[in-house]
Amino acid sequence: MAEEKVILVNEKDEQIGLMEKIEAHEKALLHRAFSVFVFNRHNELMIQQRAFSKYHSPGLWTNTCCSHQREGETNIEAGKRRLMEEMGFTTDLKDTISFIYKAPFDNGLTEHEFDHILVGKFDGEPDLNPDEVAAWKWVSLEDLKKDMKKNPHIYTEWFKIIFDKYYSTIQQ
């Protein structure tokens, strides 16, 4: 199987090239990404614990799912594809805001992303892909906010950034 490529972008989210995913993270180059936030009818957020085999941030809790768009794929198409690949379901998504962040990791890789926040609703149970996800749960935003302050080390860097800066945007 061919290596996954990411879309390199400038600060206006205009495509400037393609690069193999690991190389882009090694070089800390800005690339397009998305983060999906799925809520249930009780306004609880579905969060996932990343699989322990992931190449970065293994075992950490994060938003419902996230990944990178493929060339020619819209943000919504990418979000729905990845929701199915990781969580085993799909739902309608709304493209809300986007922002740029940079987060270095202990393993020498750096996430430098132009991240699009996608929000959806779902009331079922996911069918987890164990290669991607170790566990999941529904959590209220208020409880999550408290736990992130108490246990920041158990959450991914991008999730903490999104939650801190864009809390009002992700609320339903």
From 65, 66, 86, 111, active-site residue = 66
Cα-based torsion angle of the residue sequence 125, 129, 132, 134 in order, rounded to the nearest 10 degrees: 60
Report the candidate in 171, 152, 162, 169 with the shortest Cα–Cα distance to residue 66: 162
Contact 87, 48 (CB under 8 A): yes
From 86, 111, 113, 132, active-site residue = 113
113 tagged catalytic:
yes
66 tagged catalytic:
yes
Extended strands (E) in 40-162: 44-50, 61-62, 65-67, 93-104, 110-121, 133-140
Cα-based torsion angle of the residue sequence 77, 53, 29, 152 in order, rounded to the nearest 10 degrees: 90
Contact 113, 158 (CB under 8 A): yes
Q: How many other β-carbons are positioned within 10 Å of the β-carbon of residue 163? A: 19
CA atoms within 13 A on the CB side of 50: 20
Active site residues: 66, 113
